[in-house]
């Protein structure tokens, strides 16, 4: 079977067709980066307008590349949340219209589940597994037990990782988005020069906090002004190292919980746009190896927001008999642990 996926939860407009055989038959993304750079972040109204302008053409292009007509797909999967509500509405309403016009099932996909299941698309890993979900708006440790069955082990109490990178980058004089700029500068920097804090390190549980780290970066910049190029590179490296240590500390706690609950083999998945940061992936890879976990990071094209992961989540849900009515409501908030799972007959 083939599922058409639509993603519009933030500032990427995307459409894709993915088959139940795990083949990505098409995946198109319109990046709104230049639309938002002048503002230093995503402007919801601009994002929603861009989705309206570009989504129809991307859907048409995705079907053409897959050599399929709309009537040939088996279902329409559209992100229904969480995300910027204006953008989510554009994608979900489009998905509903296409499903009604073609007489196909609608699958309202949780954006976070799309990220979590992306490793099953790329690497065919089996449940259960541990997910570190790191994006611009989310930072979570999730135990993925089965389709639709997720337990939240920890989340950020303030900034998400991607948000922390963007805020720190602005303080260092970099543009938007900040993550790639900091990673690039950090390659030539000394990560030990500036003694930045490791928020929540050593505390019980798996929750994250990054606002204190951002404040420490601001104070460092103020105290060292004017900062020369090497100092900026050293601060970028110090910040990235602090983030890596914070993620590793919290993930270690989640690994211990996961190990207590499940027999081996153990699997850690890093999903979301921040997973594309090579230094952070390497840091967490070392942790995984030390703890006896296999590490899976989806390929670069599946890390940022994309419609292939939404289409694949649609494939898995369609196979499990999970479809949605056309009156399904878009949601700005939609925790993973509130998702419906397959019927008992399917699980059994």
Q: What is the DSSP string of 259-319?
A: HHH--S-EEEEEESGGGG-HHHHHHHHHHHHHTTEEEE---GGGSSS-HHHHHHHHHHHHH
Q: What pTM value is reported for the model?
A: 0.94
Q: On the CB side of 151, how many CA atoms lie within 13 Å of its CA?
A: 12
Starting from the edge strand earliest in sequence, which strands make up the sheet with 75-81, in order? 24-31, 12-19, 2-7, 75-81, 106-110
Cα 325 to Cα 84: distance, rounded to the nearest angstrom: 22
Phi, psi of 346 (to 5 degrees): -75, -45
Low-confidence ranges of the chain (pLDDT < 50): 344-348
Residue-level pLDDT at 177: 86
Q: How far apart are the first and last CA of the chain?
A: 23
Nearest to 196 by CA among 227, 163, 158, 237: 237
Do residues 257 and 231 touch, judged by C-beta distance below 8 A? no
Cα 178 to Cα 88: distance, rounded to the nearest angstrom: 24
Q: Where do we find the tokens 């952070």?
A: 280
223 prior amide bond cis, ω within 30: no
Name all domains of the chain by residue range, CATH numbers in brackets: 2-116+302-347 (3.30.420.40), 127-300 (3.30.420.40)
Starting from the edge strand earliest in sequence, which strands make up the sheet with 149-155, in order? 149-155, 139-146, 129-134, 266-271, 293-296
Residue-level pLDDT at 176: 86
């Amino acid at each position: 079977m083939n599922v058409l996926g639509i993603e519009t939860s933030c500032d990427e407009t995307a459409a894709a067709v993915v088959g139940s055989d795990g083949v990505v038959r098409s995946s198109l993304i319109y990046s709104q980066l230049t639309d938002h750079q002048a503002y230093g972040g995503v402007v919801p109204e601009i994002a929603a307008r861009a989705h309206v302008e570009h989504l129809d053409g991307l859907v048409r292009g995705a079907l053409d590349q897959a050599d399929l007509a709309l009537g040939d797909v088996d279902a329409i999967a559209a992100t229904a949340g969480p995300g910027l509500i204006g953008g989510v509405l554009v994608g979900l309403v489009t998905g509903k219209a296409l499903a009604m016009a073609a007489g196909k099932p609608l699958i309202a996909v949780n954006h976070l589940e799309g990220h979590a299941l992306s490793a099953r698309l790329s690497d065919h890993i089996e449940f259960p597994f541990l997910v570190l979900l790191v994006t611009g708006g989310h930072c979570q440790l999730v135990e993925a037990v089965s389709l639709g069955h997720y337990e939240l082990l920890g989340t950020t109490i303030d900034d998400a990782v991607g948000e922390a990178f963007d805020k720190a980058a602005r303080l260092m004089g970099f543009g938007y988005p900040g993550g790639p700029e900091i990673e690039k500068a950090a390659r030539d920097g000394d990560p030990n020069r500036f003694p930045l804090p490791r928020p929540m390190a050593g505390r019980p549980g798996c929750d994250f906090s990054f606002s204190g780290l951002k404040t420490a970066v601001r104070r460092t910049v103020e105290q060292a002004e004017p900062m020369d190029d090497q100092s900026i590179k050293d601060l970028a490296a110090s910040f990235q190292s602090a983030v890596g240590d914070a993620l590793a500390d919290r993930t270690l706690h989640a690994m211990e919980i996961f190990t207590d609950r499940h027999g081996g083999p153990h699997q850690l998945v890093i999903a979301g746009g921040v997973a594309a940061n090579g230094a952070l992936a390497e840091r967490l890879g070392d942790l995984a190896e030390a703890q006896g976990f296999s590490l899976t990071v989806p390929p670069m094209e599946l890390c940022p927001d994309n419609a292939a992961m939404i289409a694949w989540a649609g494939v898995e849900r369609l196979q499990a008999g999970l479809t949605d009515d056309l009156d399904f409501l878009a949601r700005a908030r939609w925790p993973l642990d509130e998702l419906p799972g397959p019927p008992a007959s399917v699980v059994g």
